[in-house]
């Protein structure tokens, strides 16, 4: 309902605006919303924020004229409302720009983590003599979505293009290669498309890709463990040794500078746990949760 209302109000304006990069990212993000509709929603929420801000400004002046608030309070309220409305519009604009980008990055990570394992599965099916298009459609089945996740959903787009829109296999692969958020997967799809066009063996192609992706996965795993090793050293040095050194220093200075009990309590019960939480957040951000 909101989408329809937004498009009725701002659809004509949205159709005139062209932003190729954002439109491409929106397709790659798999949010499945047309660019004009996405733009209409942005204008609609900007409009709501402006209307709400105007209503609050009018309400503030009404209270002032009713002598319920003083002039100084009115000035503070109007300034606060103006800053809040302007800040909300900026945040909404940033969210409008960054949401597809963040979604694309998240899908890229998920797809590329599962691609080596999916290629191994495809290699086994190709060795059994299963046709290439059947392999791709099998990967998009509901049973395998729970295993390969975002990658299976990407293959489902191939099934949609061939089964519902009647595209031939090379055209469906070319479209998927153009719209997928993962450059690595796009390269794989382009190679698969070329095997269709040239009539070469998909089995040989998938075996070669299997070796390449296994090597890539091994390098990624090594980098992952090296990162964990570096983080463990940082944790021991900055998050354990440094606070412990400060505790010893404070304890040794007690006879000369008076009691340091409050400082030691602050360091022990607040700063050290806080640093531990910060380290866990850093680890969660850096850690890509590699599949073993």
242 has a pLDDT exceeding 60 = yes
53 has a pLDDT exceeding 50 = yes
163 has a pLDDT exceeding 80 = yes
Per the rule left: phi > 0, alpha: psi between -120 and 50, beta: everything else, 67 is left
Higher pLDDT, 66 or 16: 16
Q: Is residue 261 part of a domain?
A: yes
Q: What residues make up the domain containing 134?
A: 109-215
Q: Is residue 291 part of a domain?
A: no
DSSP string, 200-245: --HHHHHHHHHHHHHHHHHHHHHHHHHHHHHHHHHIIIIIIIHHHH
Note whether 7 and 36 are within 8 A (CB): yes
What's the rounded mean pLDDT across residues 65-75? 79
What pLDDT is stored for residue 51 in this prediction?
Answer: 94
Q: At what angle do helices 202-234 and 272-286 cross, to 10 degrees?
A: 170
The C-alpha atoms of residue 120 and residue 118 are separated, in whole angstroms, by 5
Residue 121 shares a structural domain with residue 205: yes
What pLDDT is stored for residue 44 in this prediction?
Answer: 94
Q: Is residue 162 part of a domain?
A: yes
Residue 255's pLDDT band (cuts 50, 70, 90): low
Residue 210 shares a structural domain with residue 221: no
Residue 291's pLDDT band (cuts 50, 70, 90): very low
Question: First CA to last CA across the chain, in angstroms?
Answer: 44
Q: Is residue 84 part of a domain?
A: yes
The C-alpha atoms of residue 121 and residue 114 are separated, in whole angstroms, by 11
What pLDDT is stored for residue 221 in this prediction?
Answer: 78
257 has a pLDDT exceeding 60 = no
pLDDT above 90 coverage of the chain, percent: 19
274 has a pLDDT exceeding 60 = yes
Residue 113 shares a structural domain with residue 47: no
What pLDDT is stored for residue 259 in this prediction?
Answer: 58
CB atoms under 10 Å from CB of 118, counted, come to 22
Which residues are CB-neighbours of 32 under 8 A, at least 6 positions away? Answer: none
Residue 196 shares a structural domain with residue 259: no
Higher pLDDT, 119 or 275: 119
Residue 153 shares a structural domain with residue 133: yes
84 has a pLDDT exceeding 70 = yes
Residue 156 shares a structural domain with residue 235: no
Number of domains in the chain: 3
Residue 201 shares a structural domain with residue 121: yes
20-51 residue pLDDT tens: 888 888 988 888 888 999 999 999 999 999 99
Residue 210 shares a structural domain with residue 257: no
Residue 42 shares a structural domain with residue 93: yes
Pick from 55, 77, 103: which residue ends a domain?
A: 103
Q: Is residue 90 part of a domain?
A: yes
Q: Which segment of 42-56, 85-99, 120-134 scores lowest on mean pLDDT? A: 120-134
Q: Which residue has the tokens 């809040």?
A: 84
249 has a pLDDT exceeding 90 = no
Q: Is residue 292 part of a domain?
A: no
Residue 94 shares a structural domain with residue 135: no
Residue 154 shares a structural domain with residue 71: no
Higher pLDDT, 230 or 190: 190
Pick from 215, 235, 250: which residue ends a domain?
A: 215
Q: Which segment of 89-98, 106-115, 238-247 scores lowest on mean pLDDT? A: 238-247
243 has a pLDDT exceeding 80 = no
288 has a pLDDT exceeding 60 = no
Residue 206 shares a structural domain with residue 256: no
Q: Is residue 230 part of a domain?
A: yes
What's the rounded mean pLDDT across residues 47-68? 87
Q: What totals of helices (H) and strands (E) does the chain contain, helices first?
A: 13, 0
Pick from 61, 88, 103: which residue ends a domain?
A: 103
Q: Is residue 232 part of a domain?
A: yes
């Amino acid at each position: 309902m909101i989408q329809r209302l937004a498009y009725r109000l701002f659809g004509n304006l949205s159709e005139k605006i062209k932003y190729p990069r954002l439109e491409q990212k929106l397709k790659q993000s798999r949010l499945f919303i047309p660019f004009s509709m996405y733009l209409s929603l942005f204008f609609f929420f900007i409009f709501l924020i402006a209307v709400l801000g105007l209503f609050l400004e009018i309400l503030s002046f009404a209270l002032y004229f009713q002598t319920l608030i003083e002039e100084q309070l009115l000035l503070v309220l109007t300034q606060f409302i103006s800053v809040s409305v302007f800040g909300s519009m900026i945040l909404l604009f940033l969210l409008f720009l960054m949401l597809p980008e963040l979604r694309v990055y998240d899908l890229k990570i998920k797809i590329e983590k599962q691609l080596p394992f999916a290629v191994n599965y495809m290699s086994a099916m190709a060795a059994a003599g299963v046709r290439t298009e059947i392999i791709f459609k099998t990967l998009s089945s509901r049973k395998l979505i729970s295993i390969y996740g975002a990658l299976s959903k990407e293959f489902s787009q191939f099934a949609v293009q061939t089964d519902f829109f009647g595209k031939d296999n090379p055209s469906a692969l070319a479209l998927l290669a153009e719209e997928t958020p993962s450059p690595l997967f796009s390269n794989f799809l382009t190679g698969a498309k070329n095997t269709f066009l040239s009539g070469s063996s998909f089995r040989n192609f998938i075996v070669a890709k299997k070796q390449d992706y296994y090597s890539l996965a091994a390098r990624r795993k090594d980098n992952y463990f090296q990162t964990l090793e570096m983080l463990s050293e940082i944790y021991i040095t900055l998050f354990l040794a440094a606070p412990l050194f400060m505790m010893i220093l404070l304890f040794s200075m007690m006879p000369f500078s008076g009691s340091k009990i409050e400082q030691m309590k602050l360091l022990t019960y607040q700063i050290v746990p806080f640093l531990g939480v910060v380290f866990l957040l850093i680890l969660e951000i850096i850690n890509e949760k590699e599949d073993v």
